[in-house]
Structure 1
Amino acid sequence: MTTFEPKSLRSYSQDDVQQILQLAIARQADDKDTEFSYEQILEIAAELEISPDSLKLAERDWVVQQGQVQQRKAFDAYRIRRFQKRLGNYAIFNGFFILVDLITGGGISGSLYILLFCGLPVGFDVWNTFQLKGEEYEVAFQKWSRNHQIKKTISTVLNKWFKALQP
C-alpha cells in the first residue's frame, strides 16, 4: 500500500491490524508503569466490536501463556544453576590436578590432558544449557515440567496428609 491512496481504499489483514494497534498502544503508553483496568480493556474491546466472551477467552489464553513463559524462565534458571554447579566442580577438579603438577615440579603438562579430557563434557554442557530452541530443548523442558508437576503434586498430597494428622 502506498501513502497517497485514498482512505476509503485502505484495507488491512488481521495481522496488520493487530500490529498497528500494538504499536499505537505502545506509543500512547510510553511509560511502562501505565496499566489498564479491566473496565478499560472492556471499553477498548467494545469499540473494536469484540464480544465480552471473546475477550474473556483471550484473557484466559493470555494467562495460560504467561504461566508457560514463567515456567520456561524457571526452567532456564534451573539449567543455568545446574551448569554453574558443574562448571564449579570442573574448576575444582582440574585446579586440584594443576596444583599437584605444580607442587611436584613437573609444570602443568600432565594435568593439561585431564583438563582437555574433562573440558569436552563441559563444552557439551555449555551448548546444551544455552541452546534455548529446538527439539532437544523442548524434550528437556517437557521432562523437567513433568518432574516439577510430580514433585508439586507429591508435596501437596503430603502437606494435606500432615495437616490431617496434626491435632
Structure 2
Amino acid sequence: MPFSESPASRSYSQEDIQQILNVAIAQQNYEGEFSHDQLLEIAAEMEIPTATLRQAEQLWQQEQSGLQRRQAFNGYRKAKLKRRVGRYAIVNTGLCLLNGLTGFSFLWFPLLALPWGIMLGLNAWNIYHTQGDAYERAFQRWNRKKIVGQWFQARAKRLFPG
C-alpha cells in the first residue's frame, strides 16, 4: 500500500487486522497478565459479542490442553529414549570389556552392538520427527492409554478412598 494514502482511506482485511494487532500486542511492554474482566473489556471495545468471545476462549483452552498433552507425550518419548540409550551404553560397555578380556578374539560384540545401535538410531529419528501419520497414531494411542488410566484411577479412588 503506498504511503501517500491518507489513513482514513486505507482499508484492511480481517486477516490484516489480526496480524497488525498481534504485532502491536507483542511489542507492548506489559508486565503481568490480563484479567478475564480486561479481556471482556477489550472484546467490548472491539464490538465482539460475549458469546463469540466465550466460544473463542473455550476453543483456545482446548488448543492449549492439546498442546500440553503433546508436550507431555514428547517428554515421555524423550525420557524413554534416554533410558534406552543408557541401557545400550551400559550393556555395550560391558560387552566391550568382556570382549577385551577375551583378547578381542571374537567378533560377536560388533554383531550385537551394530543392529541394536541402528534400531536405537531409527527410534531416535521417529521421536524427534513430530509430524506425520506415524507420530499422530503414536500420540493417539498414548493419549487413549492416559485417558483410560485416569478413568481407572478415578474409579479406584471412589472405591478405595484415602
Range class of TM-score, shorter chain: over 0.9
Q: CA RMSD in A?
A: 1.7
Residue 137 of structure 2: aligned partner: 139
- TM-score normalised to structure 1 length: 0.89
Post-superposition shift, 1:153? 0.2
Post-superposition shift, 1:109? 5.1
Post-superposition shift, 1:110? 4.0
Post-superposition shift, 1:162? 0.8
Post-superposition shift, 1:108? 8.5
1:65-108: CA deviations, max 9, x gaps?
11111101110110011111111111122112111111112178
The structure 1 segments of at least 4 consecutive aligned residues displaced by more than 3 Å after TM superposition are: 107-110
Structure 1 residue runs of 5 or longer lacking an equivalent are none
Change (3 A) 1:107 1:80: farther
Residue 83 of structure 2: aligned partner: 85
Residue 149 of structure 2: aligned partner: 151
Separation in structure 2 between the aligned mates of residue 78 and residue 108 of structure 1, nearest angstrom: 38
1:119 and 2:117 correspond: yes
Change (3 A) 1:80 1:108: farther
Separation in structure 1 between the aligned mates of residue 138 and residue 42 of structure 2, nearest angstrom: 40
Separation in structure 2 between the aligned mates of residue 108 and residue 122 of structure 1, nearest angstrom: 24
Name the count of aligned residue pairs: 162
1:24 and 2:20 correspond: no
Separation in structure 2 between the aligned mates of residue 18 and residue 109 of structure 1, nearest angstrom: 64
Q: Is the 8 A contact 1:102 1:108 kept in 2?
A: no
- TM-score normalised to structure 2 length: 0.92
Structure 2 residue runs of 5 or longer lacking an equivalent are none
Residue in structure 1 matching 2:57, options 44, 54, 59: 59
